[in-house]
Amino acid sequence: MALHPNGVNHLAISTSDMKAQLTFFADVLGCPTKALYWMHGVEGCYHGFAELSESSYIAFVQHPENAEEIQWGITHAGNGGEPVTRGAMQHVAFNVDDLEELLHLRDRIRANGIQVLGPLDHGFIQSMYFAGPEGLSLEICVGSDINASAWVDPEVRELCGIDEAEMASLKDPDEFNSGGSPLPNPPYDPDKPHMKYPPGMLEKMMAVPDEVVWEKFSETTPPVDID
C-alpha cells in the first residue's frame, strides 16, 4: 500500500489577534470557526480553528510571547514572489473545486474591501492572490493531478542538485513496511530534523514510550458540555 499523508489537517499560524483572524476567515472567506480553546499543555496559549472542509482547517496559535514585529523578507514574504527565512511559510494556497467557485470567492473577498490579484493561469492550477491579517500572504486556486512528466523542469532540477535517478525516486517514493511491530524512537541525532525544546527536555520526551504519551499527554474533554 502506497501510504502517505493525504492532505493538510491543519496549518497552524502564529497570531497576536485571534479575533481578527477568525473574523477575517469567517466574514471574508466564509470559513466557520469550529474550535477556540486553551492550547493543551501550553501555559497561557490558546488555539482557534476555522474550517476549510470536514478534514482540513486553518488554525491559529495565540501565545503570550508571540513577537509583534513583522520583518518583511525575514518573518513574512508579503506576496507570493518575495523572499522569507527558510523553513517559514512563504504563502498558503487554499483549494476550490472549479473556476466558478474561484470567481465567486474573488467577488466575496472584494466585497469585504480586500484587493485580489487574479485569477491567472499557471497551467496546472489557476490562482488568485490577496492578503490576510498580520501580513499573511494568501492564495486560492483550482487544480489537481499535476503531471510530473510535464512540470519537472530539467534545468531547475539540476540547479537543486537532483540528478535523474534521484528525481525518479522523488516521483515514485519507496513503499514502507514496518514489519507489523511499532518502531521505537531512534537516538537523538543533531543532523536530523528535531523539535526544539529546552536542553535535556527533548531527549527525555522522546524516550517516553508511545503508550505512555497517549495515556498521559492526551486531553479529549471539550471545554463546553453540550449534553
Domain boundary among the residues 121, 144, 167 is at 144
Task: Tell me how crowded residue 169 is: count the other CB atoms within 10 A of its CB.
Answer: 11
pLDDT of residue 178: 81
Q: Does residue 100 surpass a pLDDT of 60?
A: yes
Nearest alpha carbon to residue 121 among 143, 106, 144: 143
Give how far Cα 121 sits from Cα of 128, 137, 138, 145, Å: 9, 18, 16, 16
pLDDT at residue 181, as a whole number: 86
Domain shared by 86 and 153, yes or no:
no
Identify the pLDDT of residue 182. Answer: 87
Does 219 map to a domain?
A: no
The answer to whether 132 touches 24, Cβ cutoff 8 Å, is: yes
* Average pLDDT over all residues of the chain: 94
Q: Quick one: 153 and 69 in the same domain?
A: no
Are 90 and 137 within 8 A, CB to CB? yes
The CATH number of whichever domain residue 106 belongs to comes to 3.10.180.10
Share of the chain above pLDDT 90, in %: 86
Can you tell me the mean pLDDT for 43-52? 96
Count Cβ atoms within 10 A of the Cβ of residue 26 and give its class: 0-12 exposed, 13-18 middle, 19 or more buried: middle
Going by pLDDT thresholds of 50, 70 and 90, the confidence category of residue 1 is low
Does residue 32 sit in the same domain as residue 100?
yes
What sign results for the dihedral spanned by CA atoms 16, 19, 51, 38? positive
Give the pLDDT confidence score for residue 226 in this predicted structure.
84
**pLDDT (0 to 100) of residue 130:** 97
Q: 52, 93, 79, 58: which is closest to 135 by C-alpha?
A: 79
- The count of domains in the chain is 2
Residue 181 lies in a domain: no
Number of H helices, E strands in the chain: 7, 8
Q: What's the whole-number mean pLDDT along residues 35-42? A: 93
Query: Do 51 and 57 contact (CB within 8 A), yes or no?
Result: yes
Are 22 and 40 in a shared domain? Answer: yes
Cell of 203: 531527549
pTM over 0.85: yes
Instruction: Evaluate whether 102 touches 96 at the Cβ level (below 8 Å).
Output: yes
Q: Binning pLDDT at 50, 70 and 90, where does residue 96 land? A: very high
